[in-house]
Amino acid sequence: MSDPRRLSVLLLINSLERAGAEKVVANLAATMDRSRFDLTVATIWPVGELKEEIVSAGTGVYSLCARGDSILRAVIPLRQLLRRNHVDILHSQLGAAGLLARLTAMTCRELGTIHTEQAIADAYSLFGRILNCATQWLPDMVIAPSSDVHASWNICPLTRARRTAVIPNGIHIPVWPSQSGARQHWRSLFAAGDDELVVGTIGYCYERKGQRFLLEASRDLLERHRARLIIVGEGPLKPQLQQLARAYGMDDRVTFTGAQRDIGGILESFDVFVLPSVAEGMPIVLLEAMAREVPSVATTVGGNSDVIHDGESGLLVPPKAVSPLHDAIDELLSSPQLRSQIGASGRSRIIAEFSVERMSRDYGLVYERVAAYHSDMPKQSLN
């Protein structure tokens, strides 16, 4: 360690594009106790737009190799960075970073290693699941953000239960009510009138996010409730989703915004947030919506059921089920009182269980436990 009073922790991730796991890394970099931990962030490929946010929090950011390079090219730069920073704990997130960390740990026995697996096992290809399962015994600890993600990987015979734990993702809780003016700004850009309701979803446009089920579920709702549907995000399915909206005769009430940076501001403009995903880990965007008192509908996949108490802090529906999704959105659009009740309860839920301070505290305890296990002191159990 460069400072004997602090543990040196390297957070390793694929890149720093503005997405869920990347936001978790940025939140950890901003909130870990600097009197106990000296943090550095490394990406395998060029860093992405969250770099500025992390650097402004006082954390160094390094890129290990060029875009398109094999992760094998990152092994030597990673080992050099570990030595130069006297790293005690290597904490990886996402598949490629996890594999790179495991390859490195095989020859660095003194290094404490932790991997956070943000996705359920079925989100990986068969080869990816086999590779993960075959190497999951290598990290000292494997962390999942939800009980579903934990269960999906813990069935692997090579994953020892004593080395796994659940630490839910956490976010910065925004001050509420907001005084930013973002609601009016974005609603004007969406051409939403004062008497219109806005239903929205945010996510990469591909099959796992389930936007096509939302479009189908909304076919008769938008006209009947004088509502608009906002779909935020880019991705390979976006042209097909736009074509589907035209085929349903909804294109005058559906807006595709593409990728956006001001996610918090956009969420403030929504009257109902919908997450129609087919698979999830623990989506940061759901936490962000609920923290802003936006009544939310989500599918019963991944960590959604850990976050939402159905009928109290949100509404849960089965994945790929258009009729229940339609009915849940209809119920919220029909009742301002219900929207207000669920919105307030959702924010209380996030404050109580899903703050970034709670997440950072839990990870800090794991870092210290793993470091003690690797120290010269008598070995301690990781239980």
Provide the pLDDT for residue 4: 62
- How many domains, the chain? 2
- With 0-12 CB in 10 A as exposed, 13-18 as middle and 19+ as buried, what is 57? middle
Residue 141's DSSP bridge partners are 114
* 27 and 152 share one domain: yes
- DSSP, collapsed to helix, strand or coil, labels residue 288 as helix
Nearest alpha-carbon partner for 117 in 91, 89, 142, 139: 142
* 347 and 359 share one domain: no
Residue 262 Cα to chain centre, angstroms: 16
The reply to whether 381 falls in a domain is no
* 94 and 232 share one domain: no
* 347 and 364 share one domain: no
| Per-position DSSP letters for 48-108, written without gaps between them | -TTHHHHHHTT-EEEE-S-TT--GGGGHHHHHHHHHHTT-SEEEEESHHHHHHHHHHHTT-
The reply to whether 379 falls in a domain is no
Average pLDDT per 10 consecutive residues for the chain, totaling 383 residues: 76 91 93 94 89 91 85 90 94 92 84 91 83 82 91 72 83 90 95 95 96 97 96 97 96 95 96 96 96 98 95 97 98 98 98 96 95 67 47
* 211 and 166 share one domain: no
d(CA 160, CA 147): 16
CATH, residue 247 = 3.40.50.2000
d(CA 26, CA 206): 24
The reply to whether 58 falls in a domain is yes
What's the whole-model pTM score?
A: 0.90
The reply to whether 2 falls in a domain is no
Residues, the chain: 383
Provide the pLDDT for residue 253: 96
* 20 and 166 share one domain: yes
What one-letter code names the amino acid at 245? A
* 231 and 333 share one domain: yes
* 142 and 216 share one domain: no
d(CA 164, CA 153): 9
The residues, any chain, with a CB within 8 Å of residue 346's CB and separated by 6 or more, are 289, 290, 291, 293, 294, 295, 296, 308, 313, 314
Integer angstrom CA distances of residue 296 from 110, 149, 177, 208, 299: 45, 21, 17, 18, 10
Provide the pLDDT for residue 300: 96
Q: What domain range is 269 assigned to?
A: 182-353
Nearest alpha-carbon partner for 275 in 253, 303, 249: 303
* 133 and 192 share one domain: no
